[in-house]
Structure formats: C-alpha cells, structure tokens
Amino acid sequence: MKSKAAGSKPGDKKAQGDLAGGMNNLSVEEKVTVKSKNLNVLDEYSKSKRKKSANFVVIGHVDAGKSTLMGRLLADQGAIDQRTLDKYRKEAEKIGKGSFALAWVLDQGSEERARGVTIDIATNKFETDNTAFTIVDAPGHRDFVPNMIAGASQADFAVLVIDSSIGKFESGLKGQTKEHALLVRSMGVQKIIVAVNKMDAVQWDKERFTEIEQQISSFLTTAGFLEKNISFIPCSGVLGDNITRRSEEANASWYRGRTLIEELETSEPYTHALDKPLRMTIGDVFRGGVQNPISISGRLDAGSLQIGDQILTMPSGEKALIRSVEVDSEPSDWAVAGQNVTLNLANIDPVHLRSGDVVCRASAPIPTITTFTAKVLAFEHLMPMLVDVHRGRLHVPARISKLVASLDKASGAALKKRPKIVSPGTVARVVVEMDQAVPLEAPTRIVLRSGGTTVAAGLLE
Ligand SMILES: Nc1nc2c(ncn2[C@@H]2O[C@H](COP(=O)(O)OP(=O)(O)OP(=O)(O)O)[C@@H](O)[C@H]2O)c(=O)[nH]1
C-alpha cells in the first residue's frame, strides 16, 4: 500500500522533542514526566483552531473517472504544485495518454501509469479552511476488491463516482457500482456523495442527471443508506465543473446545489468518539536508535491522549509511556480521535508491538475475545467454513460456526433464521470462532477471507 500516512522515522530529531538538552541525567520516565503538561485534552481541542480530520473512500466502476476527479480536487485545492502537474501532463502526452495527467496525481506507480488503471490504494491529503481530508482512492477493477475493502475500512464517508455517458452508466450499474456501494454500507459507512461525472460527455443534460439520480437513489436506499445521507452532484473531473468551482453558466446552469468540495465540508466524520475510552489500532511500528527506540503510527479511533500518558497495548498487555506525539507529522502535546498520529514510546520492548495491535488504557482495556457475532455482506456462498478474519492488517484463522439469519438489507430485520447457506449479495448475521484471542469490540469493521478470496465483509455486533 502506497500509504503516505503520518509517520516520521523514530530517528528523526523532531520526534525526540526537547527531551535531550538539560535533562540528560534523568531516567526516561522522569524526562517524560517533566515534559507532560497534564492537560485536559478535550478542552484543549475545543479551544484549538485545529482542523477536524476526515477520511473518505472513492468508489465506482472501472474508468468512471475516479482518479481524474480526485486529481482535479487535489490540484484545485493546491495540494499539488503546478510544476508537478505540468510534468505529469508532459509525460502523459509523450506516451499518447494526455487525458490521464490528472489521474496520475493519484496513480503514482509506473505500472499503473502504463496500464492507466489504479491498482493499489493511494492515500492523498488536502485541506480546506475547516477540515484536513485524506482520500483513499479505491480501484474500480474487479480483481482489486480486497484493496477497496481496506480503503472502506478506514472511511468516514464515501464518494461514489458514476460515468454518466450513454451506455457507460448502464454497464457500471451492472458492474462494480452496486457492489462497491453495498460493500461500504455493510462496513458501516453511512454517508455517500454521488458524483455524477463526465456530464460534459452528455452535454450537461438535466434529464440524464435526473434519470441517474432516480435509479441510484432507489438502489442506495434499498442498500440501507438513509435518503438524508445521500447527495448527488453533476460534475466533470476533466473540466473541473462543480468540483471546487461552480459550473459555467452554459453548462449546468440548472443546478443550484453544492459543489463537491462544499458537500465534503458539510460531511461530519461519522464516529469521532472523543469522550470514549482510548483506542488506536497500530498501523506501523518503527524501530529507531538507542536514544529513540520505538514509535508507532496509526489513526486514533476513539478517545484522546497526551505526552506522559501511560498506555496499554493489547493483546500483549504490556504498558508503555508516551514520550512524544505527532499529529499529521507535526509535533503536538496531545491528539484526539480521528487524527493520524505517531507516538514515540518509552519503557516497552518492541517485541510487544505489532501492526494490528490496539493501544488503550489499563483503566478501560479493549476486551480480547475468541468468538463474535457480525452482520456481514456475503460475496461468496457462506456456510459453516474455515475463514481468516481481517481487521486492518490483523488477520487470524477462524471459522464461521453458525449462520444465525439472513437479513433485510435496508431494515436489518431477519428474513430467514438458521439458513443452511447464504448466497452472494445477501446480508447475514453469522457467528465466528477464532483460533486465538484477539482484541476486538463492536462496532469494528471486519473482513472474512477464504483461500485468498474475500467471502464477506461487515461489522462486529
Ligand atoms: N469526458 C470526460 N472524460 C473523463 C472525465 N473524467 C475522466 N475521464 C476519462 O475517463 C477515463 C478514465 O478516467 P480515470 O480517472 O482513469 O478513471 P478511474 O475511475 O480512476 O479508473 P480506474 O482507476 O481504472 O478504476 C480517462 O480516459 C479520462 O480521461 C470527465 O469528466 N469527462
């Protein structure tokens, strides 16, 4: 994964903070205590002008224009400098793919450039006045569904990109459009913004837009999205209409709604449980030198923390002290849920830290469990069978031990109790037993895989 997520190497001078200097004679613990300010983090957060953070996943059929649209968003928001953009444009023209230049802002791998298809998940960041956004660009190609699931598992909301051109909308609807939308909903994403893209290719035809709006809207509501959480924007990634600027008069003059960026700004991250117990899933572990032995990075799922706090890591049950904190690669005294952070730790052996482990506090530890019930969307036939449970980068051998019921997608009501088999496209409640105890609690997003294929994805109950 080409993640550019927060995280400097622990050898960085900056990460060591000013713990050195005149405090060389103190033990690590004493140094940390000296640095700790004992802040009321939630007060600090509400006083601070710090921007809220939001992650969104971009989904849609192959070639719907996802990368171009997001490249446009990044370029217009100033996240890409003009020189880089010009360079991409020149390179693209050299191999006769001029129109791909914007997409390259996201699809940075050379293999992807040659094929013009997004393979991996790229994370990209941009900011507005109020929010720091991270885009997880999900690929539209059929083979890449597992990557898209990883993207969806980090998302606060989704942008569904639809190709409005004649024939393309229809084939997309039969292709990944529905599959992706159903998947993000099953993973607990509640809000979806539909970018009705390539409107330039249908001469900004209002009737075409309305037809697409009606069809997608009826599908999304049966997939369990509430009408108030769905919005539609007629736009063109290539031309930039209704992305960060209003459409030209001659184009969608009939549209008075929000631009994509305005819609993103009004989308509140769905769970930033600031006042809940601390939870942070470790993404990466960095080992450094003697001075600065160990750092971890990841996103704070819930709660808050500050320099000097003692944390507990699960499942090892080991404690550690927070020496320094970085939020989005900038030094900070504290961090709250929703932020991407790097923590430099003291008093812990790195063998106790692995990506996928969970950071919490001894006063409110995350439970470690071996059995759970989940509401999942099936991609393959489900029956009592062996599976691997994936949560972020954690994966554990397990088995589906019981099919409790198949469920109505919209209401979640039981349709059939104790089915013998659940067919693809069905939402079901299942019981899963894992081979080892794992730190997991509701409503974590999980994926079930078997023999290298994703068989189901959903939420722990
Ligand atoms: N007319 C028109 N063409 C567009 C627009 N946006 C993208 N395209 C073209 O559509 C094709 C696919 O665009 P991409 O941005 O690569 O599509 P994608 O959805 O990211 O594709 P994958 O990464 O393969 O899933 C390219 O030829 C683009 O130039 C648009 O707004 N209008």
| CATH number, residue 87 | 3.40.50.300
Q: Are residues 357 and 442 in the same domain?
A: no
Residues near 103 by Cβ (< 8 Å), separated by ≥ 6?
67, 68, 71, 116, 118
Ligand 1 pocket residue status of 99, Cβ below 6 Å: yes
Q: At what angle do helices 206-222 and 176-186 cross, to 10 degrees?
A: 40
Ligand 1 pocket residue status of 242, Cβ below 6 Å: no
Query: Average of pLDDT values for 407-431?
Result: 92
Which one of 242, 265, 288 terminates a domain? 265
List the residue whose alpha carbon is closest to atom 6 of ligand 1.
Answer: 65
Q: Are residues 103 and 68 in the same domain?
A: yes
| CA R_g for the chain | 23
Average pLDDT, the chain: 80
Ligand 1 pocket residue status of 159, Cβ below 6 Å: no
CA–CA distance, 71 with 92 (Å, rounded to integer)? 14
CA–CA distance, 23 with 30 (Å, rounded to integer)? 9
Give a yes or no: residue 221 inside a domain. yes
Give a yes or no: residue 108 inside a domain. yes
Structural domain that includes position 250:
52-265
Domain count, the chain: 3
CA–CA distance, 80 with 224 (Å, rounded to integer)? 36
Ligand 1 pocket residue status of 202, Cβ below 6 Å: no
Residue 83 half-sphere exposure, CB side, CA atoms within 13 Å?
A: 0
Task: Specify the DSSP class assigned to residue 367.
Answer: P
Q: Computed from CA positions of residues 310, 19, 356, 317, in that sequence, does the dihedral angle turn out positive or negative?
A: negative
Tell which atom from ligand 1 comes closest to the C-alpha of 100: 29
CA–CA distance, 461 with 458 (Å, rounded to integer)? 9
CA distances from 112 to 67, 78, 89, 91 (A): 12, 24, 16, 14
Tell which atom from ligand 1 comes closest to the C-alpha of 165: 1
Q: What is the pLDDT of residues 180-211, one digit of tens each?
A: 888 888 888 889 999 999 999 999 999 999 99
Q: Are residues 165 and 187 in the same domain?
A: yes
Tell which atom from ligand 1 comes closest to the C-alpha of 236: 31
- What separation in Å is there between the alpha carbon of 59 and the centre of ligand 1? 13
Indicate the residue type of 181: A
Q: What is the pLDDT of residues 347-395, one digit of tens each?
A: 898 889 988 889 999 999 999 999 999 999 898 899 999 999 988 667 8
Give a yes or no: residue 98 inside a domain. yes
- What separation in Å is there between the alpha carbon of 193 and the centre of ligand 1? 18
Q: Are residues 180 and 313 in the same domain?
A: no
Give a yes or no: residue 136 inside a domain. yes
Ligand 1 pocket residue status of 67, Cβ below 6 Å: yes
User: What is the C-alpha end-to-end distance of the chain, expressed in Å?
Assistant: 29
Which one of 208, 238, 265 terminates a domain? 265
Q: Are residues 139 and 261 in the same domain?
A: yes
Ligand 1 pocket residue status of 392, Cβ below 6 Å: no
What ipTM does this complex have? 0.96
CA–CA distance, 140 with 135 (Å, rounded to integer)? 15
Give a yes or no: residue 41 inside a domain. no
Q: Are residues 408 and 439 in the same domain?
A: yes
Q: Are residues 218 and 358 in the same domain?
A: no
Q: What is the pLDDT of residues 76-126, one digit of tens each?
A: 887 766 667 676 666 666 656 555 555 655 555 444 444 444 433 445 778
CB 306 within 8 A of CB 341: no
Strands 334-336 and 330-332: unpaired
Give a yes or no: residue 217 inside a domain. yes
| CATH assignment of the domain containing 398 | 2.40.30.10
Ligand 1 pocket residue status of 140, Cβ below 6 Å: yes
List the residue whose alpha carbon is closest to atom 10 of ligand 1.
Answer: 65
List the residue whose alpha carbon is closest to atom 2 of ligand 1.
Answer: 198
Q: What's the helix, strand, coil split of the chain in %, to 5?
A: 25, 35, 40
Q: Are residues 329 and 412 in the same domain?
A: no
Residue 412: name the closest of 367, 441, 443, 434 by CA.
443
Q: Are residues 163 and 258 in the same domain?
A: yes
pLDDT at 420 over 70: yes
- Per the document, the length of the chain is 461
Indicate the residue type of 184: V
Q: Are residues 358 and 330 in the same domain?
A: yes
Strands 368-378 and 453-460: antiparallel
Which of the four pLDDT bands, split at 50, 70 and 90, describes residue 334? very high
Give a yes or no: residue 418 inside a domain. yes
Give a yes or no: residue 2 inside a domain. no
Ligand 1 pocket residue status of 197, Cβ below 6 Å: yes
CA–CA distance, 67 with 92 (Å, rounded to integer)? 14
CA–CA distance, 52 with 436 (Å, rounded to integer)? 37
Q: Are residues 290 and 224 in the same domain?
A: no
Which one of 312, 338, 365 terminates a domain? 365
CA–CA distance, 348 with 323 (Å, rounded to integer)? 12
CA 335 to chain centre: 19
Q: Are residues 122 and 250 in the same domain?
A: yes
